[in-house]
Structure 1
Amino acid sequence: MNISALDLNLLLVLHTVLAERSAAAAARRLHVTPSAVSNSLAKLRAQLGDPLVVRSGRGLTPTPRALELEPHLRAAIRELERVVAGAERFDPRTTTRSFALALSDAHQITDLPRVARVFARAMPRAQLRVISVDHFEAVGGLAGGEVDAAIAPVSEPRPGQHSQHLYEEAGVMTVRRDHPAAGKPITRELWAALRFVDIHLALGRGGIGHRAARAWLAAERLSLDIAVVVPSFLAAAVVAANSDYVAGLPRRVVEALAPVTPLVPLAVQGPPMAFSIELVWHERTHRDAGARAFRELVIAALSPPRAASKRGPRARA
């Protein structure tokens, strides 16, 4: 018969009846009435074309067909129970699960090495899959179902998302070490003479950090003369290191690339360009034990000491 036409709850009833050899005992175990058990058996008899059990004294005796089914039903029910209970008995030391983390190339440079070290210790048999911003956007973000979490600057709240503060980041305008403007106070006149590298991370558009940087520029009444548009922070750093163009980069990226790129920050006056960096995840994985363990190790790898206790998770309705 076509299994899609079979109510699988009926098999659970039969499994319980065969284990108890009594409709009344099966009803107590299933927390239903004896008549409900009888009705379920009647439906299953009609679908399988076999009596399955017959009354014998005060109990029920299985037919040969039921005896044939009994060990298979027992194994199937135990496997289902194991799968369902396994969600709460997640073991990070033995799991072979794959976890997907969305990162810009800036976070791949600065955060990924620390996350990978902690991941290797905490989940030695699991797989860490790093997702680019382009791919993250293309698959529908966190709601798309492919990504477990993302590291990103604070953004406008989105329905069904949760977040945890990780650390504070600062944006700096950088030039090559021997740039004519290096080491000089950046006046508005000098700023107006500079040309810049712009970064469009998300499918050819600016991302969250790009919008935050634009807001900072607007607040400081500064504009950018864009000379080059690139799709990554690393490309921007390489262009700035080999030209007279200016690249806006996270301070952590500049520090990480210091051994291989001759970049220095410009002495821009005014308040710094600051970003709060968060770990963000979807309601879909919020209660999953494995996803929770993965988030906890990312937070442990990247948060300053006691940061998690000062600023806990945010739920976004």
Structure 2
Amino acid sequence: MSLAALDLNLLLVLDTVLAERSVVRAARRLHVTPSAISNSLARLRAALGDPLITRSGRGIVPTPRAAELAPVLARALRDLDHAVHGAAFEPATTTRQFSLAIADAGQVVRLPRLATLMAAEMPRASLRVVGIDTLLTGGGLASTEVDVAVGVGEKAPGMHLEPLFRERTVLVARRDHPQAGDRVSKSVLAGLRHVEVQVAPGKGYRELPGAYARLGIARDVALIVPNFSAAAAVVADTELVATLPASLVARLGPRFGLRIVQSPVPPLTITINLWWHERTAADPAMIAFRDLIRRAGARGRSDV
């Protein structure tokens, strides 16, 4: 007999009859009539060439062939049900690895809180963190390399995006900078040289040159670096200045000896988003992971 020629619903009927040890109870559980159960069993007997069950008093007894099939059927149907409906997600026992793309400022400021939440609520899970550049070169969230991203990402087909927190920028210089005190004039600002951070596509820090241009200041960029932490380290040891996230400066400024400089250029306020792909939208594990990220990022709302 070919498996392709067998109606697999008949196996579900047999599994239920063997579990209930009663045609009537099996019919009640499957929401059909007892005669429908009997007809299904007759078809399966003909297909398998075995009586499968015999009556004994008010119940039934499986034949040796049916007894052999019983545990295999139960396991196969259970696995199929998990495959179709998804296994229940248990945060406390999951060993799943989650992946997050986030810029270095977020790694410094937000990641410790996220790690603490994961240790408390998903103690056996692991977390892989990559930068935004890695996300982009790896094919974005449509690939299977990264589950969730936190950044300035913009809405695109197949993407889900929600505002997570807002970040304010500050201009910083080293504490003993010879020209940049606590406040600088337009003319002093025009004479300073800058470290620029190249960030991922999107608005945000790309608006900075325009903010200077509107004041008639030609921003003099001496150095371009790929992340905010590198900019902070350079500013700490040179006479260059940089525009950085306020939350990062609050964390690293005292350690690096940085000073916030008030300038005529108004600070930028940048919305940092949580974004994910449609492919992970309904996954219970990912829903729980995104909730942890929201709670870890909620503290960022006070940075504005």
TM-score bucket (shorter structure): 0.7 to 0.9
Q: Note if 1:298 corresponds to 2:293.
A: yes
> SS in structure 1 opposite 2:255?
coil
Q: What CA distance in whole angstroms lies between the structure 1 residues aligned with 2:100 and 2:192?
A: 36
Q: CA deviation at 1:63?
A: 6.5
The amino acid across from 2:136 in the alignment is E
| Aligned residue in 2 for 1:92 | 91
Deviation (angstroms), 1:294: 1.8
CA distance in structure 2 between the partners assigned to 1:69 and 1:126 by the alignment: 37
Q: For 2:38 and 2:142, how far apart are their aligned partners in 1?
A: 41
The TM-score, its normalising length taken from structure 1, stands at 0.74
Give, in whole Å, the separation in 1 of the partners of 2:101 and 2:227.
Answer: 14
* Structure 1 position 20, deviation (Å): 6.7
**How far apart are residue 170 of structure 1 and its match?**
0.8
Sort the Cα spacing of 1:109 and 1:144 in 2 relative to 1 into closer, same or farther, 3 A: same
- Partner residue, 2:107: 108
TM normalised by structure 2 equals 0.77
User: Residues 156 and 279 (structure 1 numbering): CA distance in 2 closer, same or farther, change over 3 Å?
Assistant: closer
1:169 to 167, 170, 178: 167
Separation (CA, whole Å) in 2 of partners of 1:2 and 1:209: 62
Q: Which runs of 5+ in 2 are unaligned?
A: none
**Distance of 2:168 and 2:38 partners within structure 1:** 66
Q: What's the C-alpha RMSD, in Å, of the aligned pairs?
A: 3.9
Alignment of 1:225-244 (within 5 A): 225-244=220-239
Asked if 1:267 is matched to 2:262, the reply is: yes
Counterparts of 1:230 and 1:19 in 2: how far apart (Å)? Answer: 66
Displacement of 1:36 after TM fit? 11
AA matched with 1:195: R
Structure 2 vs 1, CA of residues 16 and 123 (structure 1 numbering), >3 Å: closer, same or farther?
same
Residues 223, 13 of structure 1: alpha-carbon distance in 2 compared, 3 angstrom cutoff: farther
- Which consecutive unaligned segments of at least 5 residues does structure 1 have? 308-317
CA shift for structure 1 position 189: 3.2
User: How many residue pairs are counted as aligned between the two chains?
Assistant: 298
3-state SS in 2 of match to 1:260? helix
Code of the residue aligned with 1:136 in structure 2: it is: L
Q: Deviations over 1:28-84 (max 9, x none)?
A: 7556898899799969977xxx43557979x99977544422221112223444566
SS at match of 1:259: helix
Letter in 1 for 2:270: F
Per-residue deviation, residues 144-166 of structure 1 (Å, max 9, x unmatched): 2332322213x432233333433
2:155 to 151, 154, 157: 157
* Larger Rg, first or second structure (1 or 2): 2
User: Structure 1 stretch 268-277 or stretch 252-261: which is displaced more?
Assistant: 268-277
Query: How do residues 111-190 of structure 1 correspond to structure 2 at under 5 angstroms?
Result: 111-153=110-152, 155-183=153-181, 185-190=183-188
Structure 2 residue identity aligned to 1:76: A
Partner residue of 1:197? 195
**Counterpart in the other structure of 2:71:** 71
Indicate how the Cα distance of structure 1 residues 65 and 135 shifts in structure 2: closer, same or farther if over 3 A, else same.
Answer: farther
Once residues 184 and 286 of structure 2 are traced to their aligned partners in structure 1, the CA distance between those partners, rounded to angstroms, is 46
Counterpart among 242, 249, 258 of residue 254 in structure 1: 249
Shift in CA distance, 38/220, structure 1 to aligned 2, threshold 3 Å: farther
Q: 8 Å contact 1:148–1:281 — kept in the other structure?
A: yes
